[in-house]
Structures are given as C-alpha cells and as structure tokens.
Chain A
C-alpha cells in the first residue's frame, strides 16, 4: 500500500475504516482491530468470571463484525455497533446458561450493594499500587451485572450515558443511575478495602 493511502486511513474514523474494509482494504480492518481489541477484550474479561468464555465471546464478536461487513452501513458510531454486538452475546450467554440471573438483574438495577465483602489479605511483598489495582478489579467484579457493564463502557471507552443506553437498550435515566451507583459502589468498596489493609 502506498504511503498517502496509509495516511488517509490513519486519518479516517472508525466508520471510514470499516467502509474501507468493506471495499476490500484489509489494512483498514487491521487498524480498526488494533484500536479496539484491548478495550473490548477487557469488557468481556471484567464482566465474566470465566476467562475462556470471555475469550470465546470476544472472538465471536469480531467474527460477527467480519461477517456483517458486506451489509455494514454507517447508521451509528462503530463503537456503539461493536459493543451492542458484545452486549447481545453476553445477554444470550446469560440467558442460555443462567436464566435466573436475568430475574436478579432488575433487582440489582438501582441497588447499592455492599461490594466490600471480605477480601483476602494481600501478601505483604506486593507493592501498594498492585494492591490497589487488584482491589479495584475485585470491586468491579462484585458489581451487579448491569452496573458493571455501564461502568466499563463509561470508564474504559469514555462512552456517554446516551451511547450506553443505546447499547444496553435501556432508558437514558436508567443508564445514568447505573453509572452513578456503579462509581459510588466502587469508591465505597475501595475505601473499605484500604481501611482493611491499613494503606
């Protein structure tokens, strides 16, 4: 590929890259993939306790993107489309494996959960920063599913409440509530943890 073409791709938006891939430019897809792979991967890893399942769903998401390339039209932001696919895959999995989780989902919607459940005391040799990072991950893991998803989309990608509501298929108000409660829960969880560890 020539240099000007490379530069034009670099300057292109996600939607432009997707259209370029649709037109047969494989480099455009590679660029798109490099940009979104890590946040999407973490989106799955943080939401699902099963690492293998997270990897499978991550692959499924990209596979669906590739298959849908021929019919792709710029109707929304690429990120919204990508995470909507990811969201649906998680929902499908939850429905297939844990139908009861969905019933609990509505109860957890606005619930402020004490996520500062007993933590194992971190080994002394671990650095403080590593400890804090682990604590945060554990706090996120203990969030209700809907809050966790909203928090990850906001904290990882910086998506607005409007975008998140579109992905999750819920009202804007509900999304705003989820995000706010998620942050507050995390803060409370980390504070308790720090008190416990004496840091």
Chain B
C-alpha cells in the first residue's frame, strides 16, 4: 500500500506546491447550498436580535422588585379601602403583636406606670391603707408587689412620699438587693419579664374585643349593659362603633331596630 517517494529539496517542493495549488484552484468550485446559507444568516440575525433585546429584559428585571412591591401595597390598600371590616379584625391582632414584640423598655414602662398608679393611690391614702392592702392591690406584677411593699412600708414611716422619690427608693432598694448577687439579678430580670408579659396579657384581656361584637344582637346587649351600669362614655363609644359596623340596625325592618333606637334615645337624653 505504501510507496516511498524520493526526498525532494525545498525548491522542488515549492514548485510542486505551486503547480498543484493552481490545479486545485481550477476545480475548487463547490459552494454550500443556498438553503444552508439562508439558515446560517437567519441564525446570525436572530442572535443579533436577541442581543439587542436583552437590555429591555434586564431593565424589566431591575425594576421587578419595585413593581412587585408597589403592586402588593396597592392590593392591600385596595382591600382595606373596600372592606374596612378587615381593618377592625386586624387591629386587635396588630396591637397584641405590637405588645408582645415591644422591647423590654416599653414593657418596663408599663410595669412602672402601673406601679406609679398604685404609688399615687398609696400616697393619697397612706394612713388608711395598710401594707397588705397595698400589696393586694398591686398583684398585677410580682415586681410591683415587692416594690410596693417596701415603698409602702417606707411611706408608713415617713408619712409623706412623692412618686419620684418612691421610684428612686425602688431603684435603690432593687439595686441594693441585687447588685451583689448575679443570680439575683437574673432572677430579677426573669421576674421582670414575667411581670411584663402578665401586664401585657392583662391589658389585652381588658381591651374591648371586636370579636364580642360579632353580631348585632351581642352589640345591643353590651350597649344595654353599659347603660344599666351607667357607663356612659363606654356606651357612647360602643354606640359609635355599632353604627359603623351594624348600619342595618337603623333599618326599620330589623328586629332589633326598636330596642336600638330606644337605647340610642336613652343615651342621647342623658
């Protein structure tokens, strides 16, 4: 199969190369089919179009988050606008959430304000109220109990005690109690947080629940109770809320219409 050719020098090779190249050029006439040409050029154009369109897509992607956020806000705002009941239902949850998520300073403020209220009471009637009564009245928080007890004792001896001084005393006494004992500090902080939580839950429980007014009947019953107890400010607030939430009570065909009007008149006449 193999055939050995005699070696040729560079000059002879160049001559051979030129000769064969000339001969080759004469017969090198094949061209790709037109269909292939068109397909390749179409692909090139398509790629070119895609490349030019890309910035538009990336610009859309850049603003995607902002547009999505705006759409979400619009949706929520629209929902709240068209159905205000949702807002009423959300508010109690929201306030509970705010309270539970509030930091230690706000909880401490709550505890302190309740303690201050108790202190003010104690201050005004220090001669008539004994320490047990004071400590019983301040059962809202454990920390309040210890502070009030010591403060009340102090006030009994001094006969006069201002709330600011009482606070200072409280701070001093608590510092004296706990400053030398890290375990005591820890226990104190735990007690404080427990007190804050119980105070928060008390406040939440004491709030008028919208759920209680889930029906017009319940609302009217509640209004009647307020009137009977002579709680006029609460009754007025409730009336306002009832009129907003249950406008059907103003309809003469409503079974509770007469009672509601009667209560309303009773409230306005007082």
Say whether A associates with B. Answer: yes
Q: Which residues of A contact B (CB under 8 A)?
A: 21, 24, 26, 29-30, 33, 37-38, 41-42, 45, 55, 58-59, 62-63, 66-67, 69-70, 111-114, 129, 132-134, 136-137, 154-156, 180-181, 183-188
- Quick check: A33 and B13 within 8 Å, CB to CB? no
* Interface residue tally on B, bucketed by range: 20 to 34
Q: Does B201 contact A (CB under 8 A)?
A: no
Interchain CB contact under 8 A, B24 and A156: yes
Q: Which of B1-42 contact A (CB under 8 A)?
A: 1-5, 8, 13, 16-17, 20-21, 23-24, 26-28, 30-33, 36-37, 39-41
Known contacts A59-B40, A114-B3; A156/B28 CB under 8 A:
yes
Chain B residues within an 8 Å CB radius of A37: 31-32, 37
How long is the Cα–Cα vector from A186 to B157 in the complex, in angstroms?
A: 128
User: Are B36 and A58 neighbours in the complex by a CB distance under 8 Å?
Assistant: yes
Q: Does B51 contact A (CB under 8 A)?
A: yes
CB distance from A146 to the nearest CB of B (A): 15
Are B47 and A137 in contact, with the CB atoms below 8 A? no
Decide yes or no: A155 and B20 within 8 Å by CB, A37-B37, A58-B36 being known contacts: yes
What residues of chain B have their CB less than 8 Å away from a CB belonging to chain A? 1-5, 8, 13, 16-17, 20-21, 23-24, 26-28, 30-33, 36-37, 39-41, 43-45, 47-48, 51-52
B40 near A33 with CB under 8 A, answer yes
**Do B31 and A38 touch (CB < 8 A)?**
yes
Which residues from B are CB-within-8-Å of A45? 30
Q: Are A30 and B33 in contact (CB under 8 A)?
A: no
Contact between chains at B26 and A113 (CB < 8 Å): no
Contact B5 A59 (CB under 8 A): no
User: Is the Cβ of B24 less than 8 Å from the Cβ of A136?
Assistant: yes
Q: List chain A residues, Cβ under 8 A from B30.
A: 38, 41-42, 45
For B27, the chain A residues whose CB sits under 8 A away are 132-134, 136-137
When chains A and B are docked, how far (Å) is the Cα of A58 from the Cα of B36? 9
Q: Which residues does chain A contribute within 8 Å of B40, judged by CB atoms?
A: 33, 59, 62-63, 66
**Assembled-state Cα–Cα distance A132/B4 (Å):** 24
The answer to whether A70 touches B51, judged by C-beta atoms less than 8 angstroms apart, is yes
Further contacts, 7 of them, CB under 8 A, given A55-B36, A66-B40: A38-B28, A55-B32, A129-B26, A154-B17, A183-B13, A184-B16, A187-B16
Chief secondary structure at chain B's binding surface: helix
Q: How far is the CB of B200 from chain A (nearest CB, A)?
A: 60
- Interchain CB contact (< 8 A) of A24 among B4, B13, B28, B48: B48
B24 touches A184 (CB 8 A): no
How far is A41 from B135 in the complex, measured between Cα atoms in Å? Answer: 103
Give Cα distance in the complex from A113 to B4, angstroms.
8
Give B19 Cβ to nearest chain A Cβ, in Å: 8
The answer to whether B33 touches A26 (Cβ under 8 A) is: no
B1 to chain A, nearest CB (A): 6
Give A129 to B52 CA distance when docked, in angstroms. Answer: 50
Q: Are A69 and B47 in contact (CB under 8 A)?
A: yes
Q: Which residues of A are found within 8 Å of B20, using beta-carbon distances? A: 136, 155, 183, 186-187
Option from A66, A112, A183 in Cβ contact (under 8 Å) with B43: A66
Inter-chain CA distance A26–B40, complex, in Å, is: 12
Most chain B beta-carbon contacts within 10 A, residue among A26, A133, A183, A185? A183
Cβ–Cβ contact B24 & A112, under 8 A: no
Partner of B44, one of A26, A183, A185, A187: A26
A-side contacts of B37, CB under 8 Å: 33, 37
**Chain A nearest Cβ from B52, distance in angstroms:** 6
The CA of A175 and the CA of B39, in the complex, are separated in Å by: 35
- With both beta carbons as reference points, the residue of chain A lying nearest to B52 in the complex is identified as A24
Q: Which residue of A lies closest to B47 (CB)?
A: A66
CA–CA, A188 and B3, complex, Å: 9
List 20 interface pairs A-B (beta carbons < 8 Å), by A numbering: A26-B44, A30-B41, A33-B37, A33-B40, A33-B41, A37-B32, A38-B30, A41-B32, A42-B28, A55-B32, A66-B44, A111-B2, A113-B3, A133-B26, A136-B23, A136-B24, A155-B17, A155-B21, A183-B17, A184-B8
Measured between C-beta atoms, what is the minimum distance from B35 to chain A in Å? 9
Which partner residue on chain B sits nearest A29 by CB separation?
B44
